[in-house]
Amino acid sequence: MRTLYLCGAGNSEGIRLAQSVNKAPRRWDRIVLLDDDAAKHGRHVLDVEIAGPFAMLANADPATSAVVNLVARTTQRRTAACARIAAYGVPFATLAHPEVDTAWSRLEDGVLVYEHAIISPETVVGEGSVVFMRAVIGHESQLGRGCVVAAGAVLNARVVLGDGVYVGSNASILPEVRVGADATIGANSLVIADVPAGATVVGVPGQIVDTGQPIAARDAAVPPAVADAELESKVAAVWAEVLGRPVTDLTDNFCHLGGTSLQALRVLEGLRRQHGIDVPVTAFFRFPTVRSFAAHLVNPNDDGVAHSAQARAALRRSRLARGPMRG
């Protein structure tokens, strides 16, 4: 019996994608949903039962089974989940919605392409990457491993993304721009120049507001003494109010959660109104997780970023002054 295992019960869009791909021709005899949250076991999502934890893959036959990683909230989590799943030896399936034309493009193992996405000719979508609904990948563009291109984002011709890049909803990247590994492009941003690895870009035109190390590493480096649970709780509550969803992981990037520049301003206004906390918007985007932002509020003179404000400003000016935009 041919079996498709879906890892991650929180992504109903991914489950529906698997069902759409499996309609005609039928590739798998059954679809099994796995999740490590024991409280979810036995429940159904879109008529697919959550059968058990990821560890059930240990009993799967690699010759007749395939697996899909539906974890997609952040590129870091997606990469970590891919590594765990790969350890069981079950091959990854690539799922592209049947109505999406992928002719003359290359989709590597474990890629997900959702309905209404546009995959132009001569593109390469790297292993484990995700292209969400109505996203556009321009011709001759190249996506590295584990990238996430959120709904409505546009990568114009010959854009190159390094591994682990996150492109937020409705963001746009101009032709031939290169984005370094682990960079984050904020929702609704316009990227007009190359982006260094690990940077965060927001705004129109895009401004590099953080050229430091990747967010996960920075959060991990925050000394325990700096942590303030009460302050983190207050910040998380305002985030949840603005985003309309719970914030359970204090290391989640605001942009990865779908946050826009306008919502960032609403967060800052909420912090001012409710708690008397007043910081510039640039600080918010330099510390775009609850944990790093709260640590910055406790000790604003130690921002954990190696580059000075003057160096960041010079970098922005040099990249924005490269001459006429390329078409």
Q: What does the pLDDT read at residue 255?
A: 74
Which pLDDT tens digit goes with each residue over 79-93? 888 999 999 999 999
Residue with tokens 């091959």: 91
Q: What does the pLDDT read at residue 301?
A: 60
Q: With beta carbons less than 8 A apart as the criterion, state whether 113 and 99 touch.
A: no
Q: What does the pLDDT read at residue 313?
A: 42
Segments of 188-253 assigned E as strands: 190-191, 200-202, 207-210
Mean pLDDT, consecutive 10-residue stretches, the chain (327 aa), reads: 93 94 89 94 94 94 95 80 92 96 96 97 96 97 95 96 94 96 92 92 84 50 56 89 87 78 84 85 79 81 41 42 44
Length of the chain: 327
Q: With beta carbons less than 8 A apart as the criterion, state whether 272 and 265 touch.
A: no
Backbone angles phi, psi at 262, to 5 degrees: -65, -40
Q: What does the pLDDT read at residue 73?
A: 67
- What 3-state DSSP class applies to 11? coil
Contacts 24+ apart (CB under 8 A), 151-155: 151/114, 153/185
Q: What does the pLDDT read at residue 324?
A: 45
Which pLDDT tens digit goes with each residue over 146-196? 999 999 999 999 999 999 999 999 999 999 999 999 999 988 999 999 999
Residue with tokens 């921002």: 303
